[in-house]
Amino acid sequence: MRKTIEELLETPYWVADILPEQVKADSPGQYFAVERYYREKPRITEIKKRHADLVLKLNCYRDILPDGEEERNPPPERIAKAVLTQRVCLRTDDALIVSEPDELYLTVYHPDGELLRLLKKLCVGEGLYLWQPPAEKE
C-alpha cells in the first residue's frame, strides 16, 4: 500500500541544500546573517531556480506527481512555476520531495537507493549538496 503524505513526512529524509552539511548550533560562524543574505532577492530566486531545475531533470528519469493533481508529469513549466512560487509536494514512486518558496533547501522523504544515487548526481550539477541530518534523539 502506498504511503500517505503524512506517513512520508514521518520517514527519514535527506536535504538538497546550498550548504554541504547541517550547521551546528555552537558554530562560531554567522549562519543566521548568511541565511538572511541568501533569502533576499535576487539570491533566493536563483536558488529556487536550481531547485526547479533539479526537479525537472529528475523528471527525465522518474515520474513526478504534484500533490493534489491527478496528472502525472505535468508540463515542465507548471512544475517549475510551482517550485518557484509555492509550497509543493511532489511524489516520485514512494518518495516525497517538498519545496517551500522561501527555503534554501528541498527535503526528500523516503528515497530509495536509486533515487539517492540520482539525486546526488543532479545536485552536483546544480551546485547543491545532498545530505542527511543526524537522527533526532528521543
What integer pLDDT is reported at residue 136 of this predicted model? 65
Provide the whole-model pTM.
0.93
Domain boundaries, the chain: 5-21+35-131
Higher pLDDT, 103 or 68: 103
User: In 3-state terms, what secondary structure has residue 17?
Assistant: strand
CA dist 106 to 15, 20, 94, Å? 6, 13, 17
Question: Each residue of 26-74: pLDDT tens digit?
Answer: 999 999 999 999 999 999 999 999 999 999 999 999 999 998 888 899 9
Query: In angstroms, rounded to a whole number, what is the distance separating the alpha carbons of residues 91 and 12?
Result: 15
